[in-house]
A and B are shown apart, each in its own frame.
Chain A
Amino acid sequence: MLELTAVRKTFHDPAGAHWVLAAGLDLCVGPGETVAVLGPSGSGKSTLLKMIAGLEPPDAGSIRFDGQDLADVPPERRRFALMFQDFALFPHLDVQDNVAFGLIEQGQRRAQARARALELLAVFGLADHARQQVWKLSGGEQQRVALARALITAPRLLLLDEPFSALDAELRASLRDEFAQRIAAAGITTVLVTHDEAEARAMSQRGFRLAAGCLQRLW
C-alpha cells in the first residue's frame, strides 16, 4: 500500500520562475488498486511519478510503502516499475533481452532470464518478435513489450506515465483493455497518469485531478 503524505515539490527554472508541482499532496493507494491522476501537460504528473519511483526527491513530505519510509531507498531497490510515453526500450538489446533486463538485475543467469522472457512474450503473443530489434516493432507492440518488461520483475507497484499518448486512437482503446486485464490478473497496485479521462475511467477504480499542486477527487 502506497502512502504519500504532505508531499511538496517546486520546480525552479534557470530563468528564476518557479512552479508549484505539488503543494502538500496526500494520496493513498491500496493493494491491487489502480488509481488515475489526470491533468494537462506540465501540471507535474510525471514529476509525481518520478518522486514515487525515487528518481527525484520531494522537497518535503514523506512517501511510504507498506509502512516503510522510502526516503533512503534508491530506485533500484524499491521494485516499482515505471513505463514511459516513449516506451524507453533499450535499442541495443533485442526484444527478448529487453524483457529479461530486470531479471538479470535480480541476479538470474542470462540464459534462464531469456527463457522466462520468452515464455512471457508468448503469453503476450509477441514470441515471433523475440529476437528482433526493438525499433522494428510498431508502437503498440513496443509498449506491450515495455509492459512485459515491467511485469516480469513482479514489481510491488506499477507506474504508468501517459502510456498510450504516442499511439493512435483505435490502438489506444484495444491496448487499454489489454493492459487493464493483465494488470488486474497480476494484482499489482498501479498509479496511472494520463490526460485522457475516458482512458482513466476505463482503467482505474479511483481518479484524481492534479491542478495547482493539489489533488481533487473525481470519482
Chain B
Amino acid sequence: MNATGASRWPTLGLAALPLGFLALVVVAPLVRLSTVALADVDGAILAALVRDDYLRWRLAWTVLQALLTCLLALLIGLPVAWVLARRSFPGRALVLRLLMLPFVVPTLVAALGVLAVWGPRGVFASWTGIQWQDTPWLLLYGNLFFNLCLVVRAAVEALERVSAARVAAARTLGATPWRAFWRVEWPAILPWLASALCLVFLYTFSGFGLALVLGGQRFATIEVEIYTLVAHELKLAPAGLLALAMLLLTGLVALLYAWVERRLGAPARADHIARTRPSGLWQWCAVWLALLALLLLCAAPILAIALQVLLAGAGAWSVLWEPETLQALWNTVRFTCAALVLATLLGVTHALAARRSTWLRAAAFLPFVVSPVTVAFGLLLLYPAWSASLPLLIGAYALLAYPFVANALGAALDSLPPSLAQVARTLGASPLRVFWRVTLPLVQPALRRGMAFAAATALGEFAVTLFLSRPEWATLTTLIYERLGRPGASNRAQALVLAAELMLLALLVFVLIDRPVRDRDGRRPLPPYRAAGLPHA
C-alpha cells in the first residue's frame, strides 16, 4: 500500500457505508422479491406483457409526461432562476426557502389547494369561468408544482458560480448579453441543470402524487400499475417483470446523468458575478414576471390552503392542541431529525467515494430508480420481524432523502480546484484534516441545499406509507390522511390546519439548515463560494 493521496483504500472504505446501506435496504429486498416473482414467470406471461397494448400506451404516456415536465421545468425554471441569481431584492432569500414547500405538502392536501385555485369552484373559475379539472394541463401543472423547485434551486446555485471574468471577456469580444449567456453561462451551468432535470424525470416517471390525484386513473403511469399488481392483486410475476423494465429504463437515465456530470464537471475558475439591484423598468419587470410565475405555479395552491386555514374557525384550530396532534408533531420532528442525520452521513460518504466513479454516481440515484412498492414488499418478505420497526422506518426516510445530499455535494466537490486540497496536504494536513478544514467549509452551501431537500423529503413522507406503520408513530402527515379518510367539513378543515402546521415546521427547518454563516470573528456572512483563480479568463 502506498502512502500517497491517491490511495484507493480510503475511497473503498468511504463507499462501504452508503453501498452497504443500499444493499441492505434496496438490493436485498429486490432480489428476494424477484426470486419469488420470477419463479412464476414463464414465456407466456412475458409474451402477454409485451403484447399488451394498454401497457405499451402506459409506458409511452409515462415517458411523454416526464419529458414534457422536464421541458417545461427548464423553460420556466431557468429564467426564474436567472432573475433570482442575478438580481437582489428584498425577500429574495425567503423566496428561495418558500420554493421548497411544495415538496413538503401531502399530495391530497396539495390537490385540495390546486382545486381551490383552478377547480370549478376555485378562484380562477370565478374570475374567468374556465376550470381545468379533467384536462391533462392540470396534470402537468401538478408535476411542475412539485418539481419546479428542484430546477430553480439547482440553477440558482449554478449561476452563482459562473465566472464574471469569462462573461466580461465574452462581452468585450463582441457578444451580446444573450450570446454571452449561450456561450459562457449555459455550458457552465449545464452539469447542475442536467442533475436536476434527471431527478425531475425520475420523480415524474414514478408517477405517484399530485398528477395521479388530479388526472385520475386514466393518466396513471407504469409505477401505478406495478403498485396495483403487487399491493392489491399480489401478481408478483408480471409486477416483477415490469419493475425490472422500469429499473433498466431509469437506470439508463441515471447512468447518462452520471456520465454527463463527470465529463462536464470542471473546477470553478474565477470570481462570481455579483447580484445587482434591478435598475430600470425592464429589469423590474423581469423580477415581477419571475415572481408571478412562481406565484402561479408554486405558491397559489399553498396560499389557497393558508387562506382556508385562516378562515377555518376555532373548532378546526383546536386540533392543534390535542394530545394526539402534539404526539404527532413530536414524531414528525424526531423522525425527520434522525433521517436527516442518517441521510447526511450517507450522502457525504457517497459523494466523497463517488468522485472518480461513474457507476457510484449513478448508484446515488438508485432509491429513485427502483419502484418503491417493490422495495416495500421486498422488505416485508426479507425481514418480516423488523417490518414494523422504527429503524426500518427511519431507514426508509433516509433512503429517499440521501440522494439529494449526495448529488448536491457531488456537484460542489467537482467544482473545487484540486490544488487546494494538495496545498493543504503539503502544509501538514492529513486527508481527514483536509476534509474538515478546507473541503467542508467550501462545499458547505451545497451541502446545506442538499440537506434542506433531504429534510423536505423526510417531512413530505413520499411513498413511506407503503410500509407498515403503527399508530404510536403517527406523524402529522398520517393524521392529515386519517382526517381525509372520513367525510365531514370539520375533518377537512382540521386536515388543512394540520397541513399548515406541517408547512410552518418545514419552513422553520429550512431556515435552521440554510441560515447564513458568520465566520469565527462574527463578521458579516461569507459570500457564496469563490475560488481564488486565475485573474484573467
Contact = CB atoms under 8 A, between A and B. Distances in A.
A54 B417 contact: no
B216 interface: no
Interface stretch (B140-148, B240-248, B421-429): B421-429
Contacts of B533: 86
Contact of A72 (B3, B420, B425, B438): B3
B423 A54 contact: no
Interface stretch (A30-38, A76-84, A116-124): A76-84
A89 B422 contact: no
Interface residues of A, number: 41
Contact of A55 (B5, B427, B531, B534): B5
Nearest to A101: B427
Give the interface residue-count category, chain B.
20 to 34
A56 interface: yes
A80 B4 CA distance: 14
Interface in B491-537: 519, 526, 529-535
A166 B533 CA distance: 10
Interface string A48-82: 00100111110000000000000111111111111
B427 A105 contact: yes
B532 A57 contact: no
Contacts of B424: 90, 101
B530 A91 contact: yes
A204 interface: no
A100 to B, nearest CB: 10
Contacts of A86: 417, 419, 532-534
A105 B423 CA distance: 12
B228 interface: no
Contacts of B422: 50, 53, 55, 75, 82, 84, 88
Interface in B1-54: 2-6
A78 B3 CA distance: 11
B530 to A, nearest CB: 5
A84 B531 CA distance: 14
Q: State the majority secondary structure of interface residues on B.
A: loop
B426 A87 contact: no
A18 interface: no
B246 to A, nearest CB: 31
A12 interface: no
A65 B24 CA distance: 48
A77 B428 CA distance: 6
Given A86-B417, A92-B441, A81 B3 contact: no
A150 B530 CA distance: 22
A73 B426 CA distance: 12
A90 B5 contact: no
A116 B533 CA distance: 27
A138 B6 CA distance: 33
A189 interface: no
Contacts of B425: 53-55, 74-76
A92 B442 contact: yes
A134 interface: yes
Given A55-B422, A105-B427, A135 B3 contact: no
Contact of B532 (A53, A78, A134): A134
B223 interface: no
Nearest to B425: A75
B271 interface: yes
B428 A54 contact: no
B535 A139 contact: yes
Given A76-B425, A79-B428, A105-B427, A88 B5 contact: no
B433 interface: yes
B532 A142 contact: yes
B490 interface: no
